[in-house]
Structure 1
Amino acid sequence: MKTGRLLAFIVIAGSLGYSLSLLRPVAAEKVAWEMRAPAPMPRTEVSAAVLDGKIYLVGGFTKEGVTSRVEMYDPATDRWTSRASMPVALHHAGAAVLNGKLYIVGGLEGGRSWKPSSGLWEYDPRTDRWTAKREMPTARGALGVGVSEGKLYAVGGLGATRPFELLGNTGANEAYDPATDRWEKKAPLPTPRDHLAVAVVNGKIHAIGGRFNSDYSENLALHHIYDPAANRWGEAAPLPKPRSGIAAAVLNGKIYLFGGEAPQGTFADNDVYDPATQQWESAPPMPTPRHGLGAATIGNQIFVIAGGPRPGGSVSSTNEVFRAE
């Protein structure tokens, strides 16, 4: 082989090897997101929670209006089944699980009037029945809900403090004890807001993001932490950017915050807060940007379901699962 050809071969082979070296990390990279069976009914502004290893998707907006429909997803079989519908159609409600029961908290009734609800509904998976429990002191929707030390906490939201008053923000923080079927008022959220997310880590309640008066042009990056033992709020590292219409889930002691909306569009963001370092980091974004979605953790996975792909009243049946590294 002549010297010129030999040099050309070396250059080409070297370039090819360099190109392949660039491809190897991509080929070996772990896939963070996977698609799963879509929800039977496309919707947004849903409630979602995990009970007995199954995800319950409750209420929300559909193309036909507000629904009371309940669908259960089994990740082991990747299948959906219908369960007993709620006695009332709700959107923007909160969801939590306590003592083997599913609770749907507050919400808004009606597609246009957006009447705040003070209702608390308990679902028993063994009987497939809903039972009305003691109502919240403060009627509201677009609230955040979390569980700490055997009690359910309803935080913030959109409500009316007086009859016939226009909807506005409330900083109400009210705790429900299922053992006594009673609510107790606690220290209010320092900055009243709606469309926020709530997550609980090590017994502390994190209230993250949100907006003022249901206006997503007034999104917030606020992050407050509530200590139930001290009945006191404190501030924490704000979100990397203001977001509302979001969903939160906890995995391996960290808070994952998904989606949201603003006038310019919906967000695919997946931000992670580590209470140990008190810092936010970016994780692989959702394949499908959405707001008004539900998020639920099972094992080492977070399922992110339904929600609107466009700001406002759009709907989807998307079911995407995230695996943390």
Structure 2
Amino acid sequence: MADASEEAVTPIYTYKECYDLINSLPGGTPKSDNAFKWARHNYAKFAEYSAFEELSADDLIELLHHDEVNAFNEETVFDPILRWLAVEKNKIWKLDIMKEVRIAAVAPKYLLDVVEPVCWEEYTADPKDPTCRRYYHNAIIWHLLPWRRDSINNRFSIPRKYFSRVLAVGGWDKATGVIEEYDTNSKQWTELKTMNIQRTFYGVGLVRDKLMFIGGRLKSHVNTVESYNIVTGELRKESSMNEVRDCPGVVVLDYEQPITVYAIGGMKNKDALKTVEKWDEESRTWTYVAPMNEARDGLGVVTLNNIIYACGGNNGNNEYHKSFESYDPKTDKWTMRAPMNRKRSYFKMATVGGMIYAFGGYGMGYGIVGLHTWERYDPITDLWTEMPKMEHYAAVGPGVMSGRIFYVGGGANQSAQSEGEEYDNNKGKWTKIAKLNVAREGITIVNVPYELLSTQLCQ
């Protein structure tokens, strides 16, 4: 393996840098064109950040005009637009923005519940201008009177060109080096690579074009770190953490430079850890930051709007947590938040649409049991809500594909699963998706920027 000090940072831009390119460069320059292309191909991720709401009307129109807005459906496109329109200075642009929405491509229920109120609000430049309402009526006609569709501009019904690169990485005990990729065209998982990774129960984070494998165990708990370049296949050593950590929570903050990686909690020998360490790509070393309020092994972690959230886990003595806390890197402080409804440990989390989700894991019943339950947290109301049960259970690997929640794998009692399900938020139920080729538990789902495996971003 190569020494980490020899490595040059790959010039792939962060989300904020791509936003800055969009917002500051004149139209028509190569970088500007590629920045808009990146934003279209990574629309769901880009829309999570406050930078999306800061886009000018011209930039948002430019972004929405193309078929190649990478979104599972038009509802996924429209939800962030609602946030953009809620900004006072943006309200006068509603009609111009609505012209770029594929309004007839949304589901009828969404059209009635979400789009109709927007088109009936009176914050347009001219309150008597019926243009937005005309779009809405055309969408109603499209759904209810299909024989009249020829009289309507069919551009408003054409779905976006949906594409995504989603990787299922490793597992806790078996097939730890296996990476599978989901093909959105065939809707199947294909085995992409098998890495020569010996450790188990490690944490995973994506930094530019490299997967980082952090802590875990070999013959004993380790503090070592390796990175795997998913383009070249090169595996190399990185600087080690200050402490050994088995099953740490790992998150990546990639909104600004330098990109930072956090290793949170985990197990050291027989003790659960409160401590947290941060790695950044400039120094490429680990430093301590403020510890959590509670020691957590097998915790769930996630980031939303540049805030880190950590919850659940156990204290190392088979006492499971449902407590929940958040960390602000700007203040270096952890804050307790509303606890989950259920105690859970060795579980994964995901975020979409401004909400946080905790999936499965293990809980305490008559002994340790695998959980079919999952729940949703709203950061605004500070409340958790139980969601419809999953068919599968325990340490499932949840992820998001252009705004839609799914999971694969899981299982308990040394019986790993390969099955998966996708959640339809409109119908409020799960449907089956393709199985993994290799059954495993404790998978990490990694959303890879669309162009990352073939070229660099925004260059």
Shorter-normalised TM-score: what interval? 0.7 to 0.9
Partner of 2:420: 270
Q: In the alignment, is residue 94 of structure 1 matched against residue 249 of structure 2? A: yes
Q: What displacement does 1:109 show?
A: 1.3
Q: In the alignment, is residue 291 of structure 1 matched against residue 450 of structure 2? A: no
Partner of 1:169: 320
Alpha-carbon distance between aligned partners in 2 of 1:32 and 1:300, rounded to the nearest angstrom: 17
- What is the one-letter code of the residue matched to 2:319? G
Q: What displacement does 1:225 show?
A: 0.3
SS at match of 2:442: coil
- What is the one-letter code of the residue matched to 1:120? V
Q: Which of 233, 238, 251 is equivalent to 1:78?
A: 233
SS at match of 1:40: coil
Q: What displacement does 1:221 show?
A: 0.9
Map 1:10-49; keep pairs closer than 5 Å. Answer: 30=186, 32-49=188-205
Map 1:1-325; keep pairs closer than 5 Å. Answer: 30=186, 32-62=188-218, 64-98=219-253, 99=256, 100-110=259-269, 113=270, 115-159=271-315, 166-213=317-364, 218-241=369-392, 243-263=393-413, 265-299=415-449
The TM-score, its normalising length taken from structure 2, stands at 0.54
CA distance 1:214–1:41, shift in 2 (3 Å): farther
Which structure dedicates a bigger proportion of its chain to strand?
1
SS at match of 2:226: strand
- Sequence identity (%): 25
Q: What displacement does 1:69 show?
A: 2.1
CA deviation map 1:230-276 (0-9, x unaligned) = 111112121113x2223222221122323223226111122222434
**Which deviates more, 216-225 or 85-94?**
216-225
Q: What displacement does 1:291 show?
A: 1.7
Superposition RMSD in Å? 2.5
CA distance 1:68–1:277, shift in 2 (3 Å): farther
- What is the one-letter code of the residue matched to 1:82? K
CA deviation map 1:22-65 (0-9, x unaligned) = xxxxxxx9372333443332232221122223221111122x22
CA deviation map 1:92-113 (0-9, x unaligned) = 2111112421111111112xx2
Alpha-carbon distance between aligned partners in 2 of 1:102 and 1:286, rounded to the nearest angstrom: 28
Alpha-carbon distance between aligned partners in 2 of 1:264 and 1:80, rounded to the nearest angstrom: 29
Alpha-carbon distance between aligned partners in 1 of 2:262 and 2:428, rounded to the nearest angstrom: 30
CA contact (8 A) 2:347 2:442 kept: no
CA contact (8 A) 1:251 1:300 kept: no
Q: What displacement does 1:213 show?
A: 4.4
CA deviation map 1:59-86 (0-9, x unaligned) = 1122x22222212222222332221122
CA contact (8 A) 1:46 1:293 kept: no
Alpha-carbon distance between aligned partners in 2 of 1:39 and 1:69, rounded to the nearest angstrom: 17
CA distance 1:212–1:280, shift in 2 (3 Å): same
CA distance 1:183–1:127, shift in 2 (3 Å): same
Q: What displacement does 1:290 show?
A: 1.3
- What is the one-letter code of the residue matched to 2:359? I
SS at match of 2:262: strand
SS at match of 1:168: coil
- What is the one-letter code of the residue matched to 1:119? T
CA distance 1:216–1:168, shift in 2 (3 Å): same
- What is the one-letter code of the residue matched to 2:323? A
The TM-score, its normalising length taken from structure 1, stands at 0.75
**Which deviates more, 31-40 or 97-106?**
31-40
Alpha-carbon distance between aligned partners in 2 of 1:215 and 1:265, rounded to the nearest angstrom: 19
CA contact (8 A) 1:158 1:214 kept: no
Q: What displacement does 1:214 show?
A: 10
Q: Which runs of 5+ in 2 are unaligned?
A: 1-184, 454-459
Partner of 2:99: none
SS at match of 1:158: coil
Alpha-carbon distance between aligned partners in 2 of 1:154 and 1:179, rounded to the nearest angstrom: 17
Which structure dedicates a bigger proportion of its chain to helix?
2
Alpha-carbon distance between aligned partners in 2 of 1:95 and 1:250, rounded to the nearest angstrom: 17
Alpha-carbon distance between aligned partners in 2 of 1:71 and 1:214, rounded to the nearest angstrom: 37
CA contact (8 A) 1:216 1:262 kept: no
Q: Which runs of 5+ in 1 are unaligned?
A: 1-28, 161-165, 304-325
CA contact (8 A) 2:344 2:361 kept: yes
